[in-house]
Amino acid sequence: MAGAGEKVDYVFKVVLIGDSAVGKSQILARFARNEFSLDSKATIGVEFQTRTLVIDHRSVKAQIWDTAGQERYRAVTSAYYRGALGALLVYDITRRQSFDHIPRWLDELRAHADKNIVIMLVGNKSDLEEQRAVSTEDAKEFAEKENLFFLETSALQATNVESAFQTVLTEIF
Ligand code: GTP
Ligand code: MG
């Protein structure tokens, strides 16, 4: 990992989208600071965090943008997507509705983002297996149909969060 003052070869903007409470902000907290909070507050407006990592011997600064899933708290859509090279499209495996809304988020993303944007479909909260409402197979099938990468994550248990970002960043690279 590059330390303070070290040179950065690339800056990649990645956006997080999906319904409210699916865990976008906690996925970001896990990736950027290795933190997790169970009483996370709904995001208002837009926030971002960065983490610099080495990919293929180059130092890549990932600038991850996070906005509100709730319509009334959302940031200006066009500005949010501008310049984004990657996206994590997040649903909650225990809330069917959050998965059913994925096509809408994908439409918005495709309408506003660069056409070559790298998209990862993320089924979060995989630690809550006993409350699962979306099968891995359904999600995988949707991802294949839409040409998206796909992973199930748990921000709580730190499962696949690193992998989700690594895959997107490596693919951008
Ligand atoms: P908005 O900001 O409103 O769009 O929501 P968000 O998608 O950012 O959700 P947030 O990260 O705030 O998480 C919502 C709730 O889900 C919080 O209570 C989190 O602690 C919880 N949560 C997030 N990720 C996980 C996870 O992997 N497992 C479990 N069990 N809970 C999680
Ligand atoms: Mg949030």
Measured distance CA(38)–CA(21) in Å, rounded: 11
Is this prediction's ipTM beyond 0.95? Answer: yes
Ligand 1 atom at minimal distance to the Cα of residue 18: 7
* 100-132: b (≥16 Cβ within 10 Å) or e: ebbeebbeebeebbeeebbbbbbbbbbbeeeee
Pocket residue to mutate for ligand 1, from 25, 89, 163, most atoms within 8 A of Cβ:
25
Q: Say how many C-beta atoms besides its own lie within 10 A of residue 88's C-beta.
A: 29
Task: Dump pLDDT digits (tens) for 156-170.
Answer: 999 999 999 999 999
State what percent of residues in the chain have pLDDT above 90: 90
4 band by pLDDT with thresholds 50, 70 and 90: low
Nearest residue (by CA) to ligand 1, atom 15, is 21
Closest ligand 1 atom to residue 128 Cα is 30
